[in-house]
Every structure is written in C-alpha cells, then in structure tokens.
Amino acid sequence: MTEGNFVDYVKVFLNSGKGGKGSVHLHREKFITKGGPDGGDGGRGGHIILRGNQNLWTLINFKFKKHFKSGHGGHGSKNRSSGADGEDVYLDVPLGTIVKDGETQEIVVEITEHGEEKILLEGGMGGRGNWHFRSSTNQTPRYAQPGVDGLEKDFIFELKVLADVGLVGFPNAGKSTLLSVITSAKPKIADYEFTTLKPNLGIVEYRDFKSFVMADIPGIIEGAAEGRGLGHYFLRHIERNSTLLFLIPADSKDISKEYEILLDELRRYNPELLDKERLIAISKSDMLDDELMDEMRTELEVELDNVPFMFISSVAQMGILELKDRLWNMLST
C-alpha cells in the first residue's frame, strides 16, 4: 500500500431517506360504491448503515466520494398496500474505525468486528394511511399522514490502526527499516526526519505458521501530545496496539532519557497507554563492540527500572529472531 493510498481521516455528509406518504383511498369495486377507507402506509426511508470489513485497511473509499444518500420510502396505495422501504446504504469501513459527530466531536460509534453493523442515520418513518383513522364517527377519513423527513448530518470517520505491536520512537530511529526486515512490508526509508507520514502495516511471520501484525507509525517529537509535529495524527494509532515496541538508536546521547520522553508523551496523551506491555529495542547496535554493549547493558538495567530491553540491528540481522520470540511471548501471555 502506497503512502498516498493510506487515508485514515475523512469528513462525510450523510442523508437518510424520507418516509413515503400514507394513502388516502376509499375501497371501490363493482356493486360496492361506498366502501370504507383502505389506504396503505408509506414505506420507511432508507437507513445509512456502517459495516465493519476486515479486508479493508484504509478509508480511501471515502477520499473522493463524501456524500451519501439513501432511498426514499414508497407511498402507500389502495387495498392497504404498504409502500416499499427505501434502499439502505451500507458504508464498509476497516476495523478500528470510529465515527464522530461533525459538530460536537463526540464519538458516536466504533467498529471493531468483521460484519458488525451500526445504523448511523435512521430513515424517516412512513406515514400511516387513512385506514388507521377510521372510527364510528368518521367512517370515511379523507386524510393520511405524510412521511417523516430523513436526517442529514456531517460525520468524521477516523481510523485507529489495529495492530498487535506498535513501533514507538523518535523520527529516524530505524522503525521503517526494522519493519522492512521483519515483515514483507516495503515502507519508505530515507535518512531524514518524518520519512513516515502515514502508518505502515506489516505481517510478521512466526514459527509454525503463526503471525502477528506490526505497525510502523510516524515518529514522536517532544510536544506531540499537544499536537506538535504530527501530534495526535500519530498518537491515536497507538491506542489500539496491544504491545508497544520502543525503538531507540544505540548512538542516542541518552537512551534512558529518550525513553522517558517517549513515555511522557504517551502519558500526557492517554495515561491508559502506560498499561500496555513494553519492550525497548536498542537499534543500530552493530556499531557497538561487545565491551561497550556490556557497559551499556549494566547501566540500562539500573536506569530503565526493570523495563525489558535488548540490542538489535536491522541491517546486520542482529537479534531479529530473538525479537520475534520476545514479542510473540508478550502477545501470547
């Protein structure tokens, strides 16, 4: 999937169908010149229905078409015949999609399961035909109800990536390189900040035909929780990851401090993120010799306060198998 095709935020305008009119009809047939009322009900207007689809990974279907309108209900007719219901409109979205009210920004609905359906806008009710209004004092009512108008509203569709492992790190920490090595994904890789502007997903193949999903997400900068840099654009995707893999390069000036900054951004955005399991991977470790690695390991065991960490190198394929093992064990417990 190319970066331009990953759409995770769209505004849409939805309009549900109007209900059909009830019929005003009096029964007439041969030898019955003054039959009673037999006007049928109008059909309901079409609903706008959101539906989860596990085969979709992006909201690109809404990139160019953002207005949707369901069908109107049919009018009632004689012999108490009801009008047809308006045609419903189904909007298929990837799992992990949340829908917000376009005005209040409140979350209206959230889709997390395949085939899950939620009605976003109900169609208008059909009007009742004159048959319903007959009485002993009004045996030939010549009126019926009109159909109820449909609803129209702006909504925001927002995708939060559903992945087992989320890669967390500053720009240019080597997240895209790791994803390209550990999965079959082909993210954009370059030696400058914010190469990754959209989340990249990759499937990590494990032993015995097992697998899990890893997401390389745009890098954090200090102040991301307040919206600096890519800000919330990045942070919202971490909410759905069950395990967080912090990637910090071995040539960082202070590994433990960099980890604390990353952790603090998550804490300020959503404290619940700190409840997720964490693993720190020291990337680009092929530049370290054994003696320096041992010194760093001794220091980090104290500074990181028992948070598990390991040394890896995506380029040299160092520690990649062990990384898969540790991530799988974290996901399985």
* Average pLDDT, rounded, for the chain: 84
Contact in structure between 26 and 37 (CB atoms under 8 Å): yes
Q: pLDDT (tens digit, 9 = 90+) per residue, 105-118?
A: 999 999 989 999 99
Q: What angle do CA 177, 249, 262 make, to 5 degrees?
A: 100
Among 34-38, 60-64, 114-118, which range has the highest average pLDDT? Answer: 114-118
pLDDT of res. 199: 61
The fold for domain 165-332 equals Rossmann fold (3.40.50)
Q: What is the mean pLDDT of residues 237-263?
A: 86
pLDDT of res. 234: 56
Q: pLDDT (tens digit, 9 = 90+) per residue, 177-230?
A: 888 888 765 544 434 343 444 566 777 888 887 888 887 766 554 444 444 444
The strand order across the sheet containing 277-283 reads: 200-205, 211-216, 165-168, 243-249, 277-283, 309-311
Distances (CA, A) of 181 to 177, 178, 192: 6, 5, 19
Q: pLDDT (tens digit, 9 = 90+) per residue, 93-141?
A: 988 899 999 999 999 999 989 999 999 999 999 999 999 999 888 888 9
Domain 1-159, classified CATH 2.70.210.12, yes or no: yes
Q: Which residue, 262, 192, 197, is CA-closest to 225?
A: 262
Q: What ranges do the domains of the chain cover?
A: 1-159, 165-332
Q: Look up residue 77 and give its amino acid.
A: S
Residue 170 gets which letter from DSSP?
Answer: -
Q: pLDDT (tens digit, 9 = 90+) per residue, 9-29?
A: 899 999 999 999 999 998 888
Rg (CA), the chain: 29
H helix runs in the chain, sequence order: 175-182, 232-238, 255-269, 290-303, 320-332
